[in-house]
Chains A and B, each alone.
Chain A
Amino acid sequence: MTILLHHGFIIYAHLWLIPLAPLLGFLINGLIGRRLPKWLVTTVALLAPLASFSAVLCDASPSVIPAVETFGTWINLGSLHIDFSLALDQLSLVMLLVVTGVGFLIHIYSVGYMHDDPGYARYFSYLNLFLFFMTTLVLAGNVLVMFVGWEGVGLASYLLIGFWFNKTSAASAGMKAFVVNRIGDFGFLIGIFFLLANFGTLTFSEIAAKLAASPAWTGGILTTICLCLLIGATGKSAQLPLYVWLPDAMEGPTPVSALIHAATMVTAGVYMIARFHFLFDRSPFALSVVAIVGAATALFAATMGLAQNDIKRVLAYSTISQLGYMFLGCGVAAYSAAIFHLMTHAFFKALLFLAAGSVIHALGGEQDLRKMGGLRKKIPITFWTMTAAVFAISGFPGFSGFYSKDAILAAAFAQGAFGTVLWGVGVLTAGITALYMFRLWYLAFFGDSRSPDVQAHESPWSMLGPLVLLAFFSIGGGWVTFGGRFYDFLAPVTGPRVEAGDPSLEYALMAVAVTVGFIGWLIAHLHFKPGSLHIAPEGTEPTGFNKLLVNKYYVDEIYNALLVRPLLFISRYILGWVVDGAILGGAAWLLGGTSMFGGAILQRWQSGNLRSYAAWLAAGAAAVLLFVLLAGSPHAWIPSFFHFAQIHGVSHTTVSQLSQAGH
């Protein structure tokens, strides 16, 4: 353990406390939660993230950071040495505050949202399990510990997407998420192997030190490693081409979508790239790929968000799009801006999902925007908090999303001609973002109710409390950047801030982005304001570009035809029928059949007649005796008998001679 001297006292950061608390919560609620009273399940479930959050707050002091704690050796093979180590620095601290803080609020919200669910204890045990793995991922001191957390959050995500496993769609959505993530994880693993082969260590600080020792080392194998890591990141963070699992993941309970599939887990890819920034900095090509993937995903997902009618799916595509912004930020080496957007996004996107959950709750499970409307007066607190989030994500000045998005766009613009294109895509995406968010806003809250027979009711305070708190963060969460404090705080880990240049240029860029945002609002206002709203009746086929959008560019269909069907064919027929059925199954049947056939014959011996057994015994004894007599020289067959005869100095040919020997 690292010992930090502080005013003469020895201070341990006790980093293990942070993942331990949710692990205990998971064990208690997961093992005996069903037999505990509900209030106790709730207490355990809420204490776990609260304890974690408190531990993080206790460690958030300059006397502790950076801290590295090692809890024994994991692997010790020749030159390879890997410890169970946790590390806390500025980057992981920001991430931990988001994970445990927002996580705690969502736990509170879940108490209200999941109140009547029969799987109440199971739900909270999974949620705590997720927090355990997520804090492990963030705190990891080496890549392997990070990978454990990485796989673990994937598991928790799978369990929670398929939480209502009686629904076929939920079960298969969970599987889809898991399988698509496996593809990304494969890339991550290959990257880890490359790291091991080229650096001989998996500890972040040691890799950084080795890179620092050879400043001329760029490109080459580093590019390969970075691209492998990027594949891992695109899987977890739902970027092109592996984004397809995230919209389906909306089958899970809404607080899960808020916590895992919006605020925390899906940002793990961004965190991983920021954590490895010393690698990516050495490979301009890999960085450009990151930026292109991010920008393309941002635009692509935003357009798909335009045509969705399920309120949660709109938010899912919006999440993919915003994650694209973060990748764009990483790709232009503005890691602190990307992490900043990660933080503000966690606030406003968690709020958007929780508010959407409140809307769904109010309407008794209705998720279709076409059947909403007129909710502004009926659920005012949900409406106002949602409004704060919509303004934040659309990047209106003063709201948190404005500062972080602006920082990323400005950093992109500073990258020359290539950067200008990225900036253009980003600004266009900002306009589309405002458009689809205000579309959702108008459709859900304005005009007349389109399901008049449903009595909308405001949610309980356990749900509204987190909404209000998150609304404050969505508005004010961006103010930490005033005077560049946030970037200065992260600078020891992620390097200095990337700036656009002179302030007047930054203000001009800002003005353009805000104007585009307002244009998005204006278009939404013209199309979806109560008077001009036109909703196509059920069953009408969309046409033209709209049809393409409604069908999400047919990406799922293309993946199905190109990848899923051939794979299924190979699995089912070649591997399933030929290899498993014919070859392996045939061999097993052959072995088993031979034994059964032999047994069928030999079982006749087992007559149950005691005297027949005795007769066989006697016959056997007689046969042995006869053999000994006739074979003449038994020592080759019965060595012990031979031995006996040798000791007594007698001839060993026959039994009858034995009787003579004594005389």
Chain B
Amino acid sequence: MQQDVPLTWYLLLSAALFCLGIVGFLLKRNIITVFMSIELMLNAVNLSFVTFAHQWHAVKGQIFVFFVMMVAAAEAAVGLAIIIAVFRVRNTLSVDRIDLMKL
């Protein structure tokens, strides 16, 4: 194992990516950007998974990453389909204007 990049850096990068995802999710109004923010958060988690897997020489973490990627792919397919359907009906991509379900 190469020691030139310490473990902490990976984790810090992962945390930074995750926070960027959260900020994007909370602040952006365009639903596609929100979607991309979710992907960003998932990938931040993936990064910490592979980091620990590498650190502990355990394959479990890497398998988990595949699961997460698979779910993310499925989510992307379904989510984009929903977005297209919503856009057709509402003619907008702003999440603030998709609020028909509230009381």
B26 lies within 8 A of A659 (CB): no
B101 lies within 8 A of A608 (CB): yes
A611 lies within 8 A of B102 (CB): no
A603 lies within 8 A of B11 (CB): no
Render B11-30 as a binary contact track against A, CB cut-off 8 A, 1 for contact.
Answer: 10000000000100111010
- Closest residue to B95 on the A side, CB-wise? A610
Render A201-220 as a binary contact track against B, CB cut-off 8 A, 1 for contact.
Answer: 00000000000000000000
B26 lies within 8 A of A614 (CB): yes
Render B77-103 as a binary contact track against A, CB cut-off 8 A, 1 for contact.
Answer: 000000000000000000110111111
Q: How far is the CA of A659 from the CA of B8 in the complex (A)?
A: 8
B7 lies within 8 A of A659 (CB): yes
Q: How far is the CA of A36 from the CA of B47 in the complex (A)?
A: 75
- The binding surface of chain B is classed by DSSP as helix
Give chain A residues whose Cβ lies under 8 Å from the Cβ of B27: 611
A659 lies within 8 A of B103 (CB): no
Smallest beta-carbon distance B8→chain A, Å = 7
* Selected contact of B99 from candidates A603, A609, A614, CB within 8 Å: A609
B96 lies within 8 A of A611 (CB): yes
Give chain B residues whose Cβ lies under 8 Å from the Cβ of A610: 34, 95-96, 98-99
Give chain A residues whose Cβ lies under 8 Å from the Cβ of B56: 662
State whether the Cβ of A607 lies closer than 8 Å to any Cβ in chain B.
Answer: yes
Render A599-641 as a binary contact track against B, CB cut-off 8 A, 1 for contact.
Answer: 0000100111111001100100000000000000000000000
Smallest beta-carbon distance A332→chain B, Å = 79
State whether the Cβ of B55 lies closer than 8 Å to any Cβ in chain A.
Answer: yes
- Closest residue to A658 on the B side, CB-wise? B52
A662 lies within 8 A of B55 (CB): yes
Render A398-437 as a binary contact track against B, CB cut-off 8 A, 1 for contact.
Answer: 0000000000000000000000000000000000000000
Q: How far is the CA of A611 from the CA of B8 in the complex (A)?
A: 31
Q: How far is the CA of A561 from the CA of B26 in the complex (A)?
A: 76
* Selected contact of B26 from candidates A603, A606, A618, CB within 8 Å: A618
Give chain A residues whose Cβ lies under 8 Å from the Cβ of B22: 618
For chain B, residues 21 to 67, give those with C-beta under 8 angstroms from any C-beta of chain A: 22, 25-27, 29, 34, 55-56
Q: How far is the CA of A659 from the CA of B103 in the complex (A)?
A: 46
A614 lies within 8 A of B11 (CB): no
A603 lies within 8 A of B103 (CB): yes
Give chain B residues whose Cβ lies under 8 Å from the Cβ of A618: 22, 25-26
A607 lies within 8 A of B102 (CB): yes
Closest 7 CB pairs of A and B: A608-B102, A608-B99, A610-B95, A662-B55, A606-B103, A603-B103, A614-B25
CB pairs A–B below 8 angstroms (14 shown): A606-B102, A607-B102, A608-B100, A609-B95, A609-B96, A609-B102, A610-B98, A611-B95, A615-B26, A618-B22, A618-B25, A659-B11, A662-B7, A662-B55
13 extra interface residue pairs, beta carbon distance < 8 Å, beyond A609-B102, A610-B96, A618-B25: A603-B103, A606-B103, A607-B99, A608-B101, A608-B103, A609-B99, A610-B98, A611-B27, A611-B29, A614-B25, A659-B11, A662-B7, A662-B55
Q: Which residues of B contact A (CB under 8 A)?
A: 7-8, 11, 22, 25-27, 29, 34, 55-56, 95-96, 98-103
